[in-house]
Structure 1
Amino acid sequence: MISRQMLSQITWVAGSYGASQGLRLFTNVVLARLLAPQLFGVMLIVNTLRTGIELLSDVGIGQNIVSNRKGDQPDFYNTAWTIQIIRGIFLFAIALLLAQPLASFYDSDELVEIIPIISVVFLLTGIQAPARFILQKRQAVRTIALFDVFIAAVSAIVHIALALYSPTIWALVAGLIVATSISATASFFLIDFRLYRIKISREHVKAIISFGKWVFASSVVFFLAMNFDRLYFAKEIPFAILGIYGIARTFSDMIGMLVQRIGTMMIFPKVAAFAKDRSELRPAIAGLRRKALLATAGGLSIIVALSDVVILTLYDDRYIAAAFMLPILMAGTWFSILSTMGESFMLGIGKSVHSAQANFAKLLWLVIAVPLTLTYYGLIAALCVIAIADLFRYVSLSFSQWKEGLSFLKQDFALLSLFAFLVVIWRYIFMQLGLVADFGTWLEYGSIING
């Protein structure tokens, strides 16, 4: 039985996520009308590289604050914040040094100018207050939710205004910097800013590094596993197709990100705070997990069945190939959702190494299969390879959960069968109602991809 408090938290998490993603979707659609597809391709590379550089020194500042029993004490979070500031300065310098080599690798003169300017974001995120993580530890879900919606609204206004003023790549670059500046400033008002001090405690540094070494390994592998397709495609396919693929990936990632958000803000802290014997943990969460995944299977199956209609409704003909890409990518989200839940359990019991192993399994599949399929069978086959990549992540995590007595294989197999059945049924019903295209027409949407 779900408690009233938990139901309220889920409502705030899901509601704020829905509002934030709605604003981002609105922004994306408006920008797609104002800007050329190749600009999204360039920005996809920039954002992917920015995330990769950021993970070069990730020691899990947020995870440390949430998981450590002293995480909400000033000495601990001020030490974590100081490490974060130093890291931001380090990443800023790294980005400046890598600008020319990266521009040469991707054969793009624009990147020589864009990357040094974008690197300012590292300084801004470095000084951002750790208030969000403190609130997450205290499970102050409502405050975090309202903050996220505020930032999403500000970002939408800034990006659209800049694109109307200057429909070039610089609207996207400046929009990111301005939105990040506002987010960093606003973070100091979540909790009394007078509590923050530059401080280094040897005891807390040791604890942060000890916990963070596996978070670092997991983060690097996670980044490569999540973004290998973008990095590889950026070198192998035209920027216009890359930009269209980026839009399809944005939609397909939304559901997985919602589950990841619930896992990070609710499952991880609750498992970490579980004071009873480990053997009692699985029975305590099994029923809630089943109910959550049943609801997810029902909702996601409808979304998969209707996903191409979303692209055709919101975007013009320049983006029609995304209507073919999205159902394939969206179907693979199911394994991403299962993996994210498993990851939250493993982090909650302090086993962050399993997350790194799972992401490595996914990365290994992508590194081997994507280049081979793209070379010999084309982009459509590569899309299918990418869609099932999280299956390998899930298998690795399932094995780890089994060793820890937290396996849900029977439950997951039954739910997977239900999900696949529902997708087929919904698609057939929608076809009969004339809401979605038949199979032949859907294949025509993807004709631009390999042709």
Structure 2
Amino acid sequence: MTIISRQMLSQITWVAGSYGVTQGLRLFTNVILARLLAPQLFGIMLIVNTLRTGIELLSDVGIGQNIVSNRKGDQPDFYNTAWTIQIIRGILLFAIALLLAQPLADFYESKQLIEIIPIISVLFLLTGFQSPARFILQKQQAVRKIALYDISMAVVSAIVHIALALYSPTIWALVAGLIVATSVSATTSFFLIDFRLHRIKISREHVKAIISFGKWVFASSVVFFLAMNFDRLYFAKQIPFAILGIYGIARTFSDMIGMLVQRVGSMMIFPKVAAFAKERSELRPAIAGLRLKALFATACGLSILVALSDIIILILYDDRYTAAAFMLPILMAGAWFSILSTMGESFMLGIGKSVHSAQANFAKLLWLVISVPLALTYSGFIAALGAIAIADLFRYISLSYSQWREGLSFFKQDILLLGLFAILVVAWRYIFMQLGLVADFNTWLAYGSIMNGG
């Protein structure tokens, strides 16, 4: 078996293509909603979505990862047991969210949260009952079917959110849109694979296997959530909701590239490495060439996006969101280390070493917990932004050490690619400045001058 094949390249095309379409739809939706709704509404929803994600991840036992990685994952007894555990978890999370509504509203000093959180908690029930069919298809590498499903759901979400915002340009348009879109997704998931294959089932053998594998997924998920969302949770308490909403838009853009690589990693690299039948010593040579080509293409594309990112904000959004034009280039440049780290995590999960992901995310979290409050307190928002941008460097360092210990190190390759990426960013920015497509350095700084002052 080889890692590189024409079939895999075709699958990557489907993964990347569907991701591009879905993100394009979400971007279109975000731009329309930004024109219909006030920035502070995005700040409130940023808190709500972050807390919702946190509650989910703080109880994650890796249902999807279990189905993909376990050799019995596509057998009815196994995935029905996994589905039953998922349902029980969803019910428990619903109850927990109801109990936390008042304390969270008090902590963030927002009366709206006490009304929003109980309604949003219904999402835990919906996702709890959602079919595990998507994970089964992922294990079977039915990439095309998953891609078409994701695009369909993105279309539904766009239509629902925009229609509700036009009808009622309030926070409730965002809340109701999320619930309706999730309901459609949960319902249609049962039609991906024969509905009759899903039934309540508890197998002690499979429960033991799921929990055994999931304990490190749980640990990794807890640290991953805190590492990915510490900035949002901290800023929600320290800066106005309007600025938080603007920051959330910049983060959404900067996260897109990393999410694409994460998608490719989870749907392609992780299953391929997990199914690699030859000796471990043959794994690195099998993936080195494809990895280099993929990261070279990523460096070329990402460098152009970094160089143009501020003008993208200025074109798509009105003057209320100008500060995001300063934030985005900084955050997007830091996405390079996120890309390297995500790819490394996929390799580690593929060989069954999920503990390394938890260690790497802990290194990132430790940096954020120390650096961001200090930077914001003593140097202002811009310095805190810089600390956030380089946070994934510490995640990458940890993963690089783990990969070296497992004989999967690509450190020299990464150093060359980093140098190439930096040179390309500077070169593209200079070219675009000469062409008059982007602002000069002083004008770009002016976009963010309000942040330290406000």
CA distance in 1, matches of 2:270, 2:195: 26
Cα deviation 1:171-198 (Å, max 9, x = unaligned)? 0000000000000001000000110010
Cα deviation 1:119-138 (Å, max 9, x = unaligned)? 00000000000000000000
1:138-157 aligned at under 5 Å gives the runs: 138-157=140-159
Cα deviation 1:43-73 (Å, max 9, x = unaligned)? 0000000000111210000000000000000
The equivalent residue for 2:20 is 18
CA distance in 2, matches of 1:450, 1:338: 31
Secondary structure of 1:446 counterpart: helix
Question: 2:383 matched to 1:381?
Answer: yes
Of the candidates 180, 185, 188, which is equivalent to residue 186 of structure 1?
Answer: 188
Question: 2:264 matched to 1:297?
Answer: no
Amino acid aligned to 2:130: Q
1:77-226 aligned at under 5 Å gives the runs: 77-226=79-228
- State the 1:268 CA deviation: 0.0
Secondary structure of 2:191 counterpart: coil
Amino acid aligned to 1:51: T
Question: 2:349 matched to 1:347?
Answer: yes
Preserved contact between residue 4 and residue 287 of structure 2 (Cα < 8 Å): no
Of the candidates 318, 321, 324, which is equivalent to residue 319 of structure 1?
Answer: 321
CA distance in 1, matches of 2:92, 2:389: 35
CA distance in 2, matches of 1:371, 1:440: 27
- State the 1:218 CA deviation: 0.2
The equivalent residue for 2:58 is 56
Preserved contact between residue 326 and residue 448 of structure 2 (Cα < 8 Å): yes
CA distance in 2, matches of 1:428, 1:283: 37
Preserved contact between residue 270 and residue 346 of structure 2 (Cα < 8 Å): yes
TM-score, reference length from structure 1: 1.00
- State the 1:4 CA deviation: 2.0
Preserved contact between residue 81 and residue 203 of structure 2 (Cα < 8 Å): yes
Secondary structure of 1:142 counterpart: helix
Of the candidates 318, 323, 329, which is equivalent to residue 331 of structure 2?
Answer: 329
Of the candidates 403, 406, 409, which is equivalent to residue 407 of structure 1?
Answer: 409
- State the 1:96 CA deviation: 0.2
Preserved contact between residue 4 and residue 286 of structure 2 (Cα < 8 Å): no
Amino acid aligned to 2:406: E
The equivalent residue for 1:250 is 252
Secondary structure of 1:139 counterpart: coil
- State the 1:448 CA deviation: 1.6
Secondary structure of 2:401 counterpart: helix
CA distance in 1, matches of 2:180, 2:123: 9
CA distance in 1, matches of 2:41, 2:450: 19
The equivalent residue for 1:285 is 287
CA distance in 2, matches of 1:137, 1:6: 14
Preserved contact between residue 165 and residue 173 of structure 2 (Cα < 8 Å): yes
Question: 2:241 matched to 1:239?
Answer: yes
- State the 1:8 CA deviation: 1.0
CA distance in 1, matches of 2:349, 2:386: 30
Cα deviation 1:83-117 (Å, max 9, x = unaligned)? 00000000000000000000000000000000000
CA distance in 1, matches of 2:248, 2:267: 27
For structure 2, list consecutive stretches of 5 or more residues without a partner in the other structure.
Answer: none
Amino acid aligned to 1:74: P
CA distance in 2, matches of 1:316, 1:180: 29
CA distance in 1, matches of 2:46, 2:110: 13
Preserved contact between residue 153 and residue 185 of structure 2 (Cα < 8 Å): yes
- State the 1:216 CA deviation: 0.2
- State the 1:158 CA deviation: 0.3
The equivalent residue for 1:393 is 395
Question: 2:262 matched to 1:260?
Answer: yes
CA distance in 2, matches of 1:357, 1:11: 31
How high is the sequence identity, in percent, across the aligned residues?
Answer: 88
- State the 1:2 CA deviation: 4.8
Preserved contact between residue 126 and residue 182 of structure 2 (Cα < 8 Å): yes
Residue correspondences, number: 451
CA distance in 2, matches of 1:199, 1:3: 38
Amino acid aligned to 2:172: W
CA distance in 2, matches of 1:133, 1:440: 49
The equivalent residue for 1:436 is 438
